[in-house]
Amino acid sequence: MIDPIRLLQELIRCKSVTPQEGGALTHLGQLLSAHGFECHRLTFSAPDTPDVDNLYARWGKESPHICFAGHTDVVPTGDISAWASDPFNGDIRDGQIYGRGACDMKGSIAAFVAAALNFLDKNQPTGSISFLLTGDEEGPAINGTRKVLEWMEKRGEKMNFCLVGEPTSRATLGDMMKIGRRGTLTGRIAVNGVQGHVAYPQLADNPIPKLLTLLRALDDLELDKGTAQFQPSNLEIVNIDVGNTADNIIPAAAHATFNVRFNDQYSGASLEKKLRATLDTCRLPYQMSIRVGGESFYTPPGKYSTLVQNAVQKITGQSPELSTTGGTSDARFIKNYCPVIEFGIVGKTAHKVNECVAVKDVTALTEIYAEVLKSLF
């Protein structure tokens, strides 16, 4: 029997700060291979991005095929002295396992790997179980899940259902699962001026007031009031920079970055069109680049959401809310290939100092994932 708590501690001890693999995928690949999974270590590259290691492992060749997806990469720890213990040690104190990635999302990976291996130890189902594990979710998300899915498609790998182990629970394990996500768009605006001395403004052209006018137009824009499935789209200005280190120079240029989380009233293309039209009303010169990180998506309630809900209710006694709130995840890529649902641990400490997860929650989550497998097969 695989102990999910011990496995989680082993994964936390792998310093897999994105984009470093840190030994986490190696450890999982060895474990899964030893239990009959066909494992493929996949490294992908792209210009101006780091190479990223990924792992795809599959047991069985028939349908139904359930894929568990997740990421072993974690965000940096920040100031280690602020942690109560080594963030890469996996200490257990007062019923909590501490460490970077305990919550987001090595806890879920340990749970679904343990659930699958323990299930297969006692059952030989007709069907397939696979794991899609990336080291590029917390990074640019270019050389990770998206490219693994393309590789799978070329091989004829078809999934019937994918369960992503992101930390979706809000206050207690089982209170929320995700059946969709808003899209994400990042815009970068540049306004050029003429550098000069602040005492002689007539000889310069200050770009900052122009940039502020443009940003005010975006900030005042009400994109929508939400839909039946999604909360309202929101635009947030996240950075303003003029690269100025002196207080007596009018800068030559000013730059700003904003991010929009948009619902199904927009596509990335239609949203960009609306944003440019809004800026154009200011009648000021600007340049803007747009990157759409993912479109919004929605998996209507049905067979698979009911499967997960029933498993959660059996183990925890509560029926999870079907939600599309929060940020984005690699589910935005998977939804193009099969129905996808996200369900995992309580996410309150994700990315924080002293990130942790309750031992009892990891144990219960393992039981939930096992119940999903029992019901599916």
Whether the Cβ atoms of residue 308 and residue 299 lie closer than 8 Å to each other = no
101 three-class SS: coil
CA quadruple 231, 307, 4, 59: dihedral sign: negative
Catalytic-labelled residue, pool 10, 104, 137, 166: 137
Measure the CA angle with vertex 292, ends 286 and 297; round to 5°: 145
Paired with 52 in beta bridges are 44
Catalytic-labelled residue, pool 21, 73, 104, 361: 73
Is 137 a residue of the active site? Answer: yes
Enter the tokens of residue 209.
Answer: 């007031």
Whether the Cβ atoms of residue 234 and residue 219 lie closer than 8 Å to each other = no
CA-CA distance, 111 to 362, in Å (whole number)? 6
Is 104 a residue of the active site? Answer: no
Measure the CA angle with vertex 211, ends 205 and 214; round to 5°: 135
Beta strands in 60-119 (DSSP E): 65-71, 92-93, 96-98
- The residues, ordered by sequence, that sit 6+ positions from 75 with a Cβ below 8 Å of its Cβ are 17, 18, 100, 104, 138, 351
Cα 25 to the center of its chain, rounded Å: 18
Active site residues: 73, 137
